[in-house]
Amino acid sequence: MQRGEGGTMPRLPSRLGVAGCGGDDPQSLVRQIDEAASVAELAALAARVDALVALLHGEGLKIERIAQRVGELNARLFKRLWSMAAPPELVAHSCLVVMGSEGRGEQLLKTDQDNALLLRDGFECPGLDGIAAQFSAGLAELGYPPCPGLIMLTNPLWRQPLAAFEATLRDWVYGAQPEGPMHLAIFVDSLAVAGDGTLLAQARDHLDRILDRADVFFARFAGAIDLFDPHPSWWHRLIARDDDETLDLKKLGTFPIVHGVRALALQQRLRVNGTRERMALLVEQKQIDPGLARDVLDALHFLMSLKLSCQLRQKQAGQLPDNRVRPSEIGSLERDTLRSALGIVRRFRGEIHQRFRLDAL
């Protein structure tokens, strides 16, 4: 679901702001972000967004509602930071895009930078390399570390004029590069946060026109669901109370769900980003069983909530948050629910394998 830059957010009870965010509710944070005069001010506000996440999670707000609020605030942070780094003419002739969980509206605590810049054909911007580096450094100051895979503005691959990027999309669809399908998957989650959003819309139109109708392309794309093969002993780890080996909630759970739904949505040319919104349209178009869709979304939201709880505990302990959980650190009820959720993920993976005939690859 696209988030409008001028949209309003429902006001939260004032006690939420007073309890943990210096008197700020989301609407107050929006105003302060839009009025911030320096990267340092934005960094302080970004930290308050994290505090708001912890507060709302502690209050029991549904994880998808927290993600929605975070996405709206983060989009404002990106837009304001970009206005500080980029001259007005660059902003007007380009489209700043976020991708990954940020693009899907499913990010909670900050993750690696995943962004791109589409430029209007024929527009030249002297010093663009330096502007991209300044923006990336600003994001790092806000708490977004550089992407290990270099999926960000400092990489020329993700900073191209529209026509050149359309050629890149064609190469990702028809080329033999092994990273092509995954790069395409990253782009499919794109969300415009600043500049001329029609540039992103044109790139998506181009992708829809060139998509191979043959089953082999979609099988290759959907095959990334097996990018992280489950460790054969993961089920045992959930049962054995004395086993303290970690489980990666992203690799085992959220990624297979997100990518499987993304593959189905791309096949149907759906132009929404969020997993929940994609699933709703897939059900409406009778592309997936409503019961399985409900179970998969329940599993996704449980996994997101469990991951956030673990990450908040890690932060409180002075550790760097990650996607891992130790079975010994969660209670019996959560462990049972986790086992059920991962069982649903396994069933959904089987559905994707069957739908795209992945076993024939």
Percent of the chain with pLDDT over 70: 88
**Per-residue pLDDT, 238:** 56
Give the per-residue pLDDT at 20.
40
What local confidence, expressed as pLDDT, does residue 240 receive? 54
Collapsing DSSP states into helix, strand and coil, what is residue 177?
Answer: coil
Per DSSP, the three-state class of 84 is helix
Greater pLDDT, 158 or 24: 158
Query: Tell me, what's the pLDDT at 14?
Result: 34
Give the pLDDT confidence score for residue 237 in this predicted structure: 56
Strands 191-195 and 94-98, bridge-based pairing: antiparallel
Is residue 305 a contact partner of residue 57, using CB atoms and an 8 Å limit? yes
More confident site: 226 or 19:
226
pLDDT tens for residues 278-288?
999 999 999 99
- Check residue 288 and give its pLDDT: 97
**What pLDDT does 12 receive?**
35
Which residue do the tokens 């004029």 mark?
Answer: 161
pLDDT for 105-127, tens place per residue? 999 999 999 999 999 999 999 99
Helix (H, G, I), strand (E, B) or coil at 285: coil
| Global pTM value | 0.89
Please work out, in degrees rounded to the nearest 5, the angle formed at the alpha carbon of residue 110 by the alpha carbons of 106 and 114.
75
pLDDT digits (tens, 9 = 90+) for 57-87: 999 999 999 999 999 999 999 999 999 999 9
pLDDT at 322 over 60: yes
